[in-house]
A and B are shown apart, each in its own frame.
Chain A
Amino acid sequence: MKIRRILIANRGEIAVRIMKTARKMKIETVAVKTASEPNAMYLSLADVVFDDTDDDSEIPVFLNIEKLITIAIKTKADAVHPGYGFLAENAYFAQKCIDNEIVFIGPPPDAIYKMGNKTIARKIALAAGIPMALGSDGKISDEEEAVSIAGKIGYPVIIKAESGGGGRGMRIVRSPDEMEKMFIIASKEAEKAFNDPSVFIEKYIENPKHIEFQILADKNGNVIHLGERECSIQRKHQKLIEEAPSSALDENLRSRMGKTATDIAKTVGYYSAGTVEFLLDSNRNFYFMEMNTRIQVEHPVTEIITGIDLIEQQIRIANGESLKYIQQDIKLTGWAIECRINAEDVQAGFAPDPGKIIKMNLPSDSYVRIDTGVQAGSVIVASYDSMIAKLIVSGTDRKDAIRNCKMALDKVWIKGTKTTLPFFRMLVRNQKFLKGDYTTTFIEKDLDKYYQSSEYEEMLAAWLATSLFVEENLQDNSISVDYENGKEMSPWLLNKRINQF
């Protein structure tokens, strides 16, 4: 192994995830300590911590290319892992690393650029004969052009950001009179998020499933796929729960879609791990959507059903090693489900609910894997994403995995912020979900509520409210907290004290 020390140009759970594999491979890691999270968990796992807490720049260090290169050089890191988000899909950053003789643990800059620009990606895929939804040839300059092209393709259409991802700069348009407003919103959002207001238009596939294929490619032209992930449960194009494999695919469809995914990778000379996203319609036609040139949040479900450590593969490929596997070696065993436990208020339409995690107890059963970058005492800060932990559950088949998931969800104990847990607890009891009968419009169309109290929960909450009322107003028969340490303290006082921090 030539790589000896990796600078992790990221934070949170993915930084922790990368460090775990690096440690297993006896490679050292460098983490960057920032002023917004000086006590973050990922720092405690690094071999070297670069202190950047006096950085008063407007741009977070994880987006500051020059600074990261300087840090890599200063800390003698010979490789950089970008994780996901931030600079993970920035071709310029990848090139800068290479120019400074630092190994970029990811794909070649040229492939990042081509796949990152959605209109170029469309052209390449079209030329390679990859199935795709009808769309505009390139970016659209104004709303009049948008109306004219949408008229030709036929409504509904979807406006997408050329440099987009994560649902930002994306809007569905169902009629010409919505176009002006949606075009402006999408374009503004794209400019904010990606510094590029360019948008294009595609035919909107109604009620599709979101199916993506994990691929692995080495620098010697070997490309394989590791099966699919089903990521249809989304809200505003952001994934909430993912599973692998998908109940919508059979062996035949899997091998056709997998072949298409590896073809796309070959077309752009791809290496490293990557994900090819498809939409699958109700007639089992699939359409290439985009390629993500990074490790993805939901990569653990693939690791579970294939037994392959994707971060290790990324490092080995970056190191110049050939893939140890050929396509026939890849066997999908069992079922895996990932729930993204985020600090969000499900009852307020998934609004971010940042704050300090006061208590955190997670299940440790053999069927559970937890990927997290926080622990009790950590703060979920508003400036980064709202991820608390990924609960990854496995089972022998889908039914078994869902059953395990239900048990694991009841064991997760997080206090301090509201979380997406009530959503998942409802979902694993939803008939359509249980049947696998869901598409990307599931949350919007098939749910009237994002959460569901179990039978007696509301009654118990009502009992508690009543007991507090009694304590405050009718002191003659008060009820107090039963403290384990023997000290009786009013929950009122306690709560007031907690809130003062």
Chain B
Amino acid sequence: MPGEKPAIKKLYALSSENRRFCFPQPLKHSIRIGKREYEVKFKHDEKYGTYILWKNRKYPVEIVRSRQNKYEILFNDISYTFTVETPFSLKRMKVLKAAKGRPDKESVVAPMPGKIVDVLVREGSDVLQGEPLVILEAMKMQNEIQSPVNGKITHVSVKAGSNIMKDDVIVEIKMG
């Protein structure tokens, strides 16, 4: 970025499960494990596509999504989501988080594309964690989509017969 700014000495990658990985700046092509530095290469070729080479082993990688400082990486067939923070943004984030408290709303999204065959709740219904919300049919299987939390249904976005895509919101629940 152009202009005057303080030097960044470190970057943090925070996983969605709140694990923190710290990398010195400027970023090196190697990672220190204990006392040794191991080279890490990010490569691409015709046979394997993009991959990371680490300790003589190739790992398939794919950059699934990226938005601002948020990255979803598919690494050896497992996806990980990270937000990359500088020491300053990390500090700011902590302050903001402390001020905001815990979220009180939960959106339930479709885990897979399919068709809603039955809606078992309506706006205003009280639901308990584990209670079925809708029946979603995908690949000829009927799947119960269950409430992840205790709360009250504030919005139902689907009806019986709706075709939905993965990650479409099914219902919104106010926690409590």
Tell me, yes or no, whether A binds B.
Answer: yes
Which residues on A are within 8 Å of B, measured CB to CB? 167-168, 181, 185, 188-189, 192-193, 236, 345-349, 351-352, 358-359, 361, 382, 385-386, 410, 413-415, 418-419, 421-422, 451, 453-454, 456-470, 473-475, 477, 479, 481-485, 489, 491-492, 494-495
Contacts of A458 in B (CB 8 A): 15, 19, 21, 75, 80
Q: Which residue of A lies closest to B79 (CB)?
A: A347
Whether A464 lies near B52 (C-beta < 8 A) is yes
What per-residue 1/0 map shows which CB atoms of B70-82 lie under 8 Å from chain A?
0101111111101
Q: B93 within 8 Å of A by Cβ?
A: no
Q: B122 within 8 Å of A by Cβ?
A: no
Choose the segment among B57-65, B95-103, B150-158, B168-176 that binds chain A (4+ C-beta atoms closer than 8 Å). B57-65
A192-B142, A352-B138, A358-B49 known; A462-B26 Cβ under 8 A: no
Q: Which of the residues B46, B78, B84 comes within 8 Å of A453, measured between beta carbons?
A: B78
A182 to B87, CA, bound (A): 53
Q: Which residue of A lies closest to B43 (CB)?
A: A482
Nearest CB of chain B from residue A468's CB, rounded to whole Å: 6
Q: Which residue of A lies closest to B112 (CB)?
A: A351
Q: Which of the residues A385, A386, A495 comes within 8 Å of B62, measured between beta carbons?
A: A495
Contacts of A466 in B (CB 8 A): 11, 13, 21, 23, 27, 82, 84
Contacts of A474 in B (CB 8 A): 1, 8, 25
Q: B117 within 8 Å of A by Cβ?
A: yes
Whether A349 lies near B69 (C-beta < 8 A) is no
A485 to B45, CA, bound (A): 8
Whether B71 lies near A468 (C-beta < 8 A) is yes
Contacts of A352 in B (CB 8 A): 112-113, 138-139
Whether B75 lies near A464 (C-beta < 8 A) is yes
Q: Which of the residues B29, B33, B49 comes within 8 Å of A415, measured between beta carbons?
A: B49
Nearest CB of chain B from residue A211's CB, rounded to whole Å: 24
- Known A415-B62, A453-B76, A463-B13; 6 more pairs at CB < 8 Å: A181-B132, A189-B141, A382-B139, A460-B75, A463-B23, A470-B11
Contacts of B71 in A (CB 8 A): 464-465, 468-469
Whether A457 lies near B79 (C-beta < 8 A) is no
Nearest CB of chain B from residue A48's CB, rounded to whole Å: 31
A460-B40, A491-B42 known; A421-B27 Cβ under 8 A: no
Whether B77 lies near A185 (C-beta < 8 A) is no
Q: B47 within 8 Å of A by Cβ?
A: yes
Contacts of A456 in B (CB 8 A): 31, 33, 54
Q: List 19 interface pairs A-B (beta carbons < 8 Å), by A numbering.
A: A185-B142, A188-B142, A347-B78, A351-B166, A359-B48, A359-B60, A413-B48, A414-B77, A422-B76, A459-B21, A460-B31, A460-B40, A460-B52, A460-B75, A464-B61, A465-B84, A466-B11, A470-B11, A475-B1
A467 to B137, CA, bound (A): 40
Whether B61 lies near A461 (C-beta < 8 A) is yes
Whether B50 lies near A421 (C-beta < 8 A) is no
Contacts of A465 in B (CB 8 A): 13, 71, 73, 80, 82, 84
Which residues on B are within 8 Å of A, measured CB to CB? 1, 8, 11, 13, 15, 19, 21, 23, 25-27, 29, 31, 33, 40-50, 52, 54, 57-63, 66, 69, 71, 73-80, 82, 84, 111-113, 117, 132, 135, 137-142, 144, 166
A448 to B50, CA, bound (A): 31
A485 to B44, CA, bound (A): 9
A347-B79, A482-B42, A484-B43 known; A192-B140 Cβ under 8 A: yes
Nearest CB of chain A from residue B29's CB, rounded to whole Å: 7
Nearest CB of chain A from residue B105's CB, rounded to whole Å: 21
A358 to B46, CA, bound (A): 10
Contacts of A168 in B (CB 8 A): 140-141
Contacts of B8 in A (CB 8 A): 474
7 A-B pairs with the lowest CB-CB distances in the bound complex, closest first: A351-B112, A462-B13, A462-B21, A469-B84, A461-B75, A465-B71, A465-B82
A457-B59, A460-B54 known; A361-B48 Cβ under 8 A: yes
Whether A481 lies near B138 (C-beta < 8 A) is no
A481 to B57, CA, bound (A): 17
Contacts of B33 in A (CB 8 A): 456
Nearest CB of chain B from residue A498's CB, rounded to whole Å: 9
Nearest CB of chain A from residue B56's CB, rounded to whole Å: 12
Nearest CB of chain A from residue B137's CB, rounded to whole Å: 7
Q: Which residue of A lies closest to B71 (CB)?
A: A465
Whether B27 lies near A467 (C-beta < 8 A) is yes
Whether B54 lies near A469 (C-beta < 8 A) is no
Interface centre among B15, B21, B113, B141 (most CB of A within 10 A): B141
Nearest CB of chain A from residue B17's CB, rounded to whole Å: 9
Interface centre among B33, B42, B43, B132 (most CB of A within 10 A): B42
Interface centre among A348, A414, A466, A468 (most CB of B within 10 A): A466
Interface centre among A185, A346, A462 (most CB of B within 10 A): A462
A121 to B52, CA, bound (A): 54
Q: Which of the residues A345, A422, A464, A483 comes within 8 Å of B73, measured between beta carbons?
A: A464
Q: Which residue of A lies closest to B41 (CB)?
A: A482
Whether B77 lies near A421 (C-beta < 8 A) is yes
Q: Which residue of B lies closest to A453 (CB)?
A: B78
Contacts of B137 in A (CB 8 A): 192
Contacts of B31 in A (CB 8 A): 456, 459-460, 463
A436 to B139, CA, bound (A): 31
Whether A491 lies near B78 (C-beta < 8 A) is no
Contacts of B44 in A (CB 8 A): 481-484, 489, 491, 494
Nearest CB of chain B from residue A237's CB, rounded to whole Å: 10
A413 to B47, CA, bound (A): 10
Nearest CB of chain A from residue B87's CB, rounded to whole Å: 13
Whether B27 lies near A470 (C-beta < 8 A) is yes
Interface centre among B8, B57, B63 (most CB of A within 10 A): B63
Nearest CB of chain B from residue A175's CB, rounded to whole Å: 15
Q: Which residue of B lies closest to A420 (CB)?
A: B77
Contacts of B42 in A (CB 8 A): 464, 467, 479, 481-482, 491
Whether B141 lies near A236 (C-beta < 8 A) is yes
